[in-house]
Structure 1
Amino acid sequence: MNLKLFALVGIFLLGVLAEPTNAARLEQGPTDDDRPNYVVIGAFRMYKNAIRFTDHAHKDLKMDVKFELNPYRKLYYVYVLSTDDQTLAINEAKRLREQSEFRDTWVYFGTLGKNAADGGNVVGQDIHPVTSQELVEVNKVDAEVKNETTVDSASQTVTNALPNTTNSDATEEKMKSLDDASGKNFLFKVYRATDNAAIDGDVNAIDTEKTRKIGTYKANVPVKLPNSKLKQVSFVCEVFGYRKVQRDVDYNNPEAEGITKDENGSTVVPFELVRLQKGDIAVMYNVYFFKDAAIMRPESRYEVNSLLDMLNENPKYKIRLHGHTNGGATGKVISMAKDSQNFFSLNDTKDGFGSAKQLSQERADIIRKYMLSKGVDPSRIEIKAWGGKRPIHDKHSPRAQENVRVEVEILED
């Protein structure tokens, strides 16, 4: 009997140990579980509300979003990213919580839509990106919201809005409140100094008195800022490849050099951007790498090509790429195979073992190799590897992933 008892205890412990916790899964990165991770910015009971919210994200915020039904919660999940790498999803959710109006963003680990319905009894998990704990309820206000659409006055977006009403006219009228959120209309005109060409980018709005971020807004499109007792506001525009520009204005009387009103009554705040100059250092915030790999993720293409555009625009540029890691441990290093051109894919790679400095060296070097493959002269790009010697945050911080980065230093312009 004792043998049977020990056997049962052993099986039980094996089952417990075999299932990693959410926190452990975050350290592991991609897992053998083929269910994706969704970065969710909203959830709705009604199909119509999900459509309106998605349209708002598309048209007003220029975000690439989709929505699908979570049949277990009977909610339509609006998401901005679907990936097999949970670490990437967690980091993107944290970024959106800190840098956008979607401050309740979370990660759903599971399947949605038809795939979820066909998946049997495998229920997904909603994960809080900061605490790594499973969310029992994704919208705590849901039980209290009856036939209402709530609008976050600080961020002009629908949050926790899950109306139960079947009155389509009433719902439509309430959803219009999204467009009527109180505040002042602004248009951040971001353009290149050399030829006045419009530049895609974002502008961060900072409440100067409370030293807190109000939100991140798209450039060159009308936006609305809340009027929650704001006084002094700093608008900061930082586009990769250009020097950062900051405009400080009085929210209630936004008058300063170059600030005008357009025909729609929006306050136009201009940002004339000039290219980086000798001595400047810019962080490639939107260049990401696969776990333990000197291989860029596909979403890194835009910023890497922005660097290429900068080098092509000014043939006198000479730069140094600084590679950094999170911590200084040695371990597995995945590299591009010889003669491979898969800069953004784990296909055609080789496994190795090396130091954090070696990994940072190879990560900077793959950007250099990409530039060379596009015709840039090798003499224009140097490499400097730091490993984990120059972290931005503590390696155990919730923002530690930001330590994994490549910086661009301008040597000659």
Structure 2
Amino acid sequence: MKILFVHQNFPAQFKHLAPALAERGHEVVALTAESNRQQTPIRSFRYPMPDAAPKPGQARLATTYMAMTDRAHRVGRAASQLRDKLGFVPDVIFGHSGWGETLFLKEVFPDARLLVYAEFYYGTKGLDVGFDPEFASNDPFSGFPVIARQSHLALSMVQADAALAPTEWQADTFPPELRSKITITHDGVDTDALMPNPQAQFTLPNGRLLRAGDEVLTYVTRNIEPYRGSHIFIRALPQILAARPGAQVVIVGGDGVSYGMSPPNGTWKERFLSEIAGAPGLERVHFLGRVPYRDYVTLMQISRAHAYLTIPFVLSWSLLESMAMGAHVIASRTAPVEEVVVDGVNGQLVDFFDVDAWSDALTTALANPASFAARRVAARKTIVENYDLKRLCLPRLIRFVEG
């Protein structure tokens, strides 16, 4: 078959799937944004980035929809050039619905089967919006923009012949009439490459060498922000540092915003750190920013206790990867996490908002590593048995596309 992948940050979720399909003899091509700098062996073409998003005051609730359809227009025009200039007409199109990229592709390729990656469907209740009262809007009509934001997601699903979601919980965010189109298969975790390594070691920017077995607390996120509970974790640090004078805290994450609102000024990291300014032991907290993937892997292999927090939102790859590497995960008791982490079996669950409980749980994990050895083993077993890339997820993904 001829298969076209569409994703503004390709390869993203298709990192393993696209090359695997190419190896099976299919002609695989990708269409991605001109700003994308990700490396891939897949032959790729680029569409021009849309103009600046319309000002909210001009577009009102249609701001997001206008931005998505503008992007979709660029994608559609680029796709027509693939057809007209290169003669590439796909049998299957597989795109992410989150940025509107698939909206006009059926017009360009009416005979192609359209598959969409259905990652998340925004809602006014029970999901990310309004979950954390500290950052919730007081506007009685705050749900209106959320419903408006659903428009391009719903349209993408209506057009799709089939859809894929990585977890049951994420699939269940979609309305029942759209949920029926969704197959559940995770992107997969390469458990052959991501495994415990008792010889792992990592050198901090200050020159200190950390080894597996050292008292190291880790926290990883794309950006330090409320969606991933950065404020809760940082507020728990003073008690942990006081109770464990030998602990080193390593935090990976940028200063930008991936999800949700931006801070009124500065960065979220600056705001949250200002709350604990002057606390003893902060010199043992190491902010690394974003790090190369191999460094992140090493840190997970060294970690004695790994904190993972998220509001009800998309589950991070890092949670599953850390478990595959045998990390002792202390995670938030939120719905997407509870699909993977079983309290007391393969990790520990803590109420998202309970700062004292986080301090106690992480302190205990740092103080008594031997007591939680069985959880580490069970964590890896969970990933191997349910999310293994080569033996489980990738064969299912291939069947989904080829079928």
Q: State the TM bucket, normalised to the shorter chain.
A: under 0.3
Q: Which of the two has greater strand per residue? A: 1
TM-score (norm 2): 0.27
Q: Which of the two has greater helix per residue? A: 2
Bigger Rg, structure 1 or 2 = 1
Query: Quick one: higher RCO (CA 8 Å, sep 6+), 1 or 2?
Result: 2
